[in-house]
Amino acid sequence: MRHTYLGRTGLKVSRLVLGTFNFGWSTEPEQAFEIMDAALEHGITVFDTADSYGKWAGRGHHGWAEEIIGAWFALGGGRRESVIICSKVYEAVDNPFEGLNAERGTSAYKIKRHIDGTLRRLGTDHVELYQQHHVEYHAPWEELFGAYEDLVSSGKTVYVGSSNFGARHLCWARAAADKRGFLGFVSEQHKYSLAFRLPELEVLPACEEMGMGVILWSPLASGLLGGHALDGRGGERSRESGGHLDAAARERLERYHRLCAEVGETPANVALAWTLANPAVTAPIIGPRTPDQVSDAVRAAEIELDSDVLARLDELFPGPGGPAPQADAW
């Protein structure tokens, strides 16, 4: 497994991140243990979760994914010490004692309460990266960064990051952190794939210029690029939302599969390798359902796509034309 730094920090991370969104509601704890063991065996040292993970489509309960990771840590064998754990705060959670504050949003109140719940479920005294799951439009940065500073100074987290932020919000956050003399968000977790290239306009250039790490979610476009969409076995999120292929999308995907066959790699690994070829990207998140899928995905970190293949992928899945404003101005 290859490694890199998380943005401008000195933290070294694996070039693939294990995602735990499916843990609990879709992936049974025993199988989740096997997946985490396989990830660690293959050198994937970064695990991503959230206080809301474990419930989806009416199944499971919030926090279950963290509970499963915590139970795996409790098995010992250096598991906790070997893993960089990333969690998040913002989404609604099942907590009747918090009333309205259990709904979506971020506040100093929620940050301080939810980190304690996360640590309790994980069975640890800290996380390496605590991410704000979405932009908070009401609370001021003075409130939020005051709370995040307290978490860092108390040792409950080492770094803080953002997720699903626009470029302007990342810039405002950096300005607010600089004003306080605080490191601020060191990474952004964002949706990005061959099938969704909009972040190339603003988000990726902003992160690269500010030295922020970029962790990608849905790098296989909810299973569209995973190799099974043509036979109706796409990702769980895609199926739940009624995802389907029209004639044009099917034809493009068929061409993509033919290109992957020429390259001699699976569609999923070509899609992952394509994201890793972008210098702004730190690591994509993978969501394997079996240990074998972990083994298959590890190959992606070793693939180097040549310029001809990258150009052909650009033709199949055209981006926005480069970073803004050059993409739409002069």
Run means of pLDDT, 10 residues per run, the chain, 330 residues = 97 98 96 98 98 94 97 98 98 84 92 96 98 97 98 98 98 98 98 97 98 98 88 54 73 96 96 98 97 96 96 96 88
pLDDT of residue 243: 54
Active-site residue set: 53
Residue 157: closest CA among 188, 190, 122: 122
Continuous segment of H or E residues that includes residue 39: helix 29-41
Q: pLDDT tens digit string along 272-328?
A: 999 999 999 999 999 999 999 999 999 999 999 999 999 999 999 999 999 999 898
In a domain, 329, yes or no: no
Indicate the burial class of 329 (C-beta count within 10 angstroms; 0-12, 13-18, 19 or more).
exposed
Sign of the Cα pseudo-torsion (8, 11, 15, 17, in order): negative
In a domain, 42, yes or no: yes
Place of tokens 């605590």: 130
Rounded CA gap, 127 and 150, in Å?
A: 14
In a domain, 325, yes or no: no
In a domain, 19, yes or no: yes
Rounded CA gap, 327 and 95, in Å?
A: 45
User: Domain containing 177: what range?
Assistant: 3-316
The 3-state DSSP class for residue 114 equals helix
pLDDT of residue 238: 45
In a domain, 164, yes or no: yes
Q: What is the tally of structural domains in the chain?
A: 1
In a domain, 328, yes or no: no
CATH of residue 253:
3.20.20.100
In a domain, 321, yes or no: no
In a domain, 264, yes or no: yes
